[in-house]
Amino acid sequence: MGPPGAGKGTQARLISRRLGIPQISTGDILRQSVQDGTALGRKAHRYMERGELVPDEIVVRIVKERLEREDCRNGFILDGFPRNMPQAEALSRELQKTSRDIDWSINISVPDEEIMKRLSGRRVCLQCGETYNMYFSPPPRDELCGKCSTPLMQREDDKEETIRKRLQVYHEGTEPLIDYYTLNGKLITVDGSGAAEEISERIDKALKDSFG
């Protein structure tokens, strides 16, 4: 969990590689549907380009189907889901059906001013999924992916006005989940400022301190 640009995707990728469990990013799945031009993608695009949440029934169905896949049997990391109370409750109901539950919720805390810089500087490789930031972690040459040399793209929702809207949606709809997971005894909060590797170490340490 965390505001847009907190580093959820970056940290989820690191945890996924370390633990060998899939990263399930609702944002990535939705963007892929938009790129593929599917009916779902066309519907989702209207909300995403405005920085609003895609309707719960669409996102919950996507996550439900994804969690049923074989590679989730030994665990998974959700990135960008749940994003409001109805989604959190739907997730809990879905997992209960297979006697599973969320183990931890990791909240990455970053001030709004820092978010603006991170998101306006972000560039992504649509080929291999690698993420860069023109201010903090630029690609090795020009705007080309350092891994596969594909030209990098800027997300259309990384425009300043849309970033502000996404922050507003986060504060109003998603932030209340901090209390929800705190009451469930599942929340750890880490300071999301500093280098990605430092934050990764903080997450590791917080998980070990809190849960052994």
Give the residue, chosen from 45, 66, 80, 139, that forms a contact with ligand AP5 under the rule CB under 6 A. 80
131, β-bridge pairs? 124
Q: Does 168 bind ligand AP5 (CB under 6 A)?
A: no
Q: Which of 104, 120, 121 is nearest to 188 (CA)?
A: 104
In the set 51, 88, 91, 200, which binds ligand AP5 (CB under 6 A)? 51
- Quote the crossing angle between the two packed helices 56-67 and 39-48, to the nearest 10°: 130
The answer to whether 45 contacts ligand AP5 (rule: CB under 6 A) is no
DSSP assignment, residue 203? H
Assign residue 5 a region: left if phi > 0, alpha if psi is -120 to 50, beta otherwise?
left
Applying CB under 6 A, the span of 22-30, 35-43, 93-101, 200-208 interacting with ligand AP5 comes to: 22-30
Beta bridge partners of 107: 189
Q: Residue 118 to residues 23, 52, 147, 157: CA-CA distances in angstroms?
A: 21, 19, 21, 13
Residues marked active site are found at 8, 83, 122, 155, 166
Q: Is 202 in the site for ligand AP5 (CB under 6 A)?
A: no
Q: Is 14 in the site for ligand AP5 (CB under 6 A)?
A: no
| Site membership for ligand AP5, residue 105 (CB under 6 A) | no
**Residues found near ligand AP5 in the complex (CB under 6 A):** 2, 4-10, 26-27, 30, 47-48, 51-54, 59, 80-81, 83, 87, 118-119, 121-122, 131-133, 136-137, 157, 166, 194-196, 199
